Structure 1
Amino acid sequence: MNLPKMLFTFVYLITPLTYIVVYSAFTVIRKNDVFTALNQVLPMIALYYFIASIVIAILFEKIMREIEKVNEKKKEN
């Protein structure tokens, strides 16, 4: 696995999972208004990251294909 794909996996796939874990923790320790507010906000943030990760995965693959095409043209010349 090359570096860009590892970075993509870390940033866009691990981050939503982290939000879900934090959300679960806040669900357990929901005692005051701050924790209740965070409990309501974190699922939306995780959902945003899941949707963004799908869109960015598509764009990332297109960009990587274009880079590979350019590299192949350079090798031919």
Structure 2
Amino acid sequence: MAEIMMLPVAPYEVNGRNIFDTGISTVGRGGHDYFCAHCGRQMVHNMDLSKIEAEMLYKCSCGGLNVPPPVE
């Protein structure tokens, strides 16, 4: 499991992509922890976002939009 900082997305860069509101916390069943690029809050716990096929933005409770970094 890794701790991964998301990449910030400006509101004008949404371009019709779906936005997933992480709310208070989003918990998975195995994977990584992802942190908001705007405020540093842990947004997603124990998930592997690289396995999600839809191109999606993740909204933090601070209001910031984020996207996972590219998989190497």
Q: Quick check: which one's strand share is greater? A: 2
Q: Quick check: which one's helix share is greater? A: 1
> Per the shorter chain, which TM-score range?
under 0.3
* Bigger RCO of structures 1 and 2 (CA < 8 A, at least 6 apart): 2
Task: Give me the TM-score of the superposition, normalised by structure 2.
Answer: 0.22
Larger radius of gyration: 1
